[in-house]
């Protein structure tokens, strides 16, 4: 069993949105001693977020821009981050897009847009980072699915989103099986409704209450709920947990 290096870096995709889970998680992990590398379609937002994190938490942080659906761009982004940060030990692939389009109105461009960012993007960044993790014999990979994948939608996004997020679960399980012998774990977080912009903008109190009513708790989730789950799954102590999906959904889906 390989141990973590003293100086360790986590890479996060989709960490530029001001109210996003990725950005919050980056700060949450930095506060706990992780150096952070950020990838976002908005390179300026990623760089600004990294600068704030470095200043606030005293860690090394770098942000770069890339479309995760573009393999070459992802490889270049990870190459750039690795050149400027300590050993990469973990990846949390938050980058994703929503899609509220009804199925019968869905066209080819919308299907491809949603699947390419959510599923293809998770694959390309995972493959690139996995090469580094395998070379060191230790690492953690976390993909982000959704309760929509397990319940067939029912939140904000619809069919292409649910399909792509379900694909992430099968993808990560296969990665866990292949990379386990190399000291790498791979797991999934499946959030329920979380108070972020991907839910269609700032949520009203009435909309939050309606969403919470489907679960067993009396609130919807917060970025901190997901960040804490990510912190566990990339921790050194989670080394015997792999191929699993951790629902962070207030009991919306029990399995």
| Number of domains the chain contains | 1
Catalytic residue among 24, 28, 57, 161: 161
* Cα–Cα distance measured from residue 29 to residue 50, given in angstroms and rounded to the nearest whole number: 12
Sheet bearing 245-248, strands edge to edge: 61-65, 35-40, 9-13, 88-93, 139-144, 184-191, 245-248
Closest CA to 12 of 70, 66, 72: 66
Residues of the chain with pLDDT > 70, as a percent, come to: 92
What pTM does this model have? Answer: 0.93
* Cα–Cα distance measured from residue 22 to residue 19, given in angstroms and rounded to the nearest whole number: 9
42 within some domain: yes
Residue 116 φ then ψ, to 5°: -65, -40
Q: Render each residue's pLDDT in the chain as its tens digit; 255 residues.
A: 679 999 999 999 999 888 789 999 999 999 999 999 999 999 999 999 999 999 999 999 999 999 999 999 999 999 999 999 999 999 999 999 999 999 999 999 999 999 999 999 999 999 999 999 999 999 999 999 999 999 987 777 899 999 999 999 999 999 999 999 999 999 999 999 888 754 445 555 665 555 555 667 888 899 999 999 999 999 999 999 999 999 999 999 888
**Tens-digit pLDDT profile for residues 134-163:** 999 999 999 999 999 999 877 778 999 999
* Cα–Cα distance measured from residue 171 to residue 200, given in angstroms and rounded to the nearest whole number: 27
Closest CA to 226 of 179, 203, 177, 193: 193
222 within some domain: yes
181 within some domain: yes
DSSP 61: E
88 within some domain: yes
**CA 114: distance to chain centroid?**
15
Contacts of 112 by beta carbon, 8 Å cutoff, 6+ apart: none
| Residue 161 is among the residues annotated as catalytic for this protein | yes
What is the pLDDT of the chain when averaged over all its residues?
Answer: 92
Rg of the chain on CA atoms, in Å: 17
* Cα–Cα distance measured from residue 11 to residue 62, given in angstroms and rounded to the nearest whole number: 10
**Tens-digit pLDDT profile for residues 53-88:** 999 999 999 999 999 999 999 999 999 999 999 999
Indicate which CATH number applies to the domain containing 222.
Answer: 3.40.50.720
231 within some domain: yes
Residue 90 near residue 140 (C-beta atoms within 8 A): yes
179 within some domain: yes
Range of the domain at 160: 9-248
205 within some domain: yes
* Cα–Cα distance measured from residue 87 to residue 76, given in angstroms and rounded to the nearest whole number: 17
* Cα–Cα distance measured from residue 61 to residue 73, given in angstroms and rounded to the nearest whole number: 19
**CA 73: distance to chain centroid?**
18
241 within some domain: yes
């Amino acid at each position: 069993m390989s141990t973590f290096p003293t100086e360790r870096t986590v890479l996060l995709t989709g960490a530029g949105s001001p109210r996003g889970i990725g950005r919050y998680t980056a700060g949450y992990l930095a506060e706990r001693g992780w150096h952070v590398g950020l990838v976002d379609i908005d390179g300026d937002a990623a760089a600004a977020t990294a600068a704030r994190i470095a200043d606030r938490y005293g860690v090394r942080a770098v942000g770069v821009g890339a479309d995760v659906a573009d393999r070459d761009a992802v490889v270049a982004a990870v190459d750039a981050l690795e050149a400027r940060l300590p050993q990469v030990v973990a990846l949390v692939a938050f980058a994703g897009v929503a899609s509220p389009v009804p199925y019968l109105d869905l066209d080819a461009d919308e299907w491809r847009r949603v699947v390419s960012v959510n599923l293809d993007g998770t694959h390309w960044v995972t493959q690139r980072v996995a090469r580094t993790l395998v070379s060191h014999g230790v690492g953690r990979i976390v993909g982000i699915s959704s309760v929509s994948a397990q319940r067939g939608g029912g939140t904000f996004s619809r069919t292409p989103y649910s399909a792509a997020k379900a694909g992430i679960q099968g993808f990560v399980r296969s990665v866990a099986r292949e990379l386990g012998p190399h000291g790498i774990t791979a797991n999934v977080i499946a959030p329920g409704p979380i108070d972020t912009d991907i839910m269609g903008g700032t949520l009203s109190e009435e909309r939050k209450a309606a969403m919470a009513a489907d679960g067993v708790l009396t609130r919807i989730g917060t970025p901190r709920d997901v960040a804490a789950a990510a912190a566990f799954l990339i921790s050194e102590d989670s080394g015997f947990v792999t191929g699993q999906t951790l629902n962070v959904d207030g009991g919306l889906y029990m399995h």
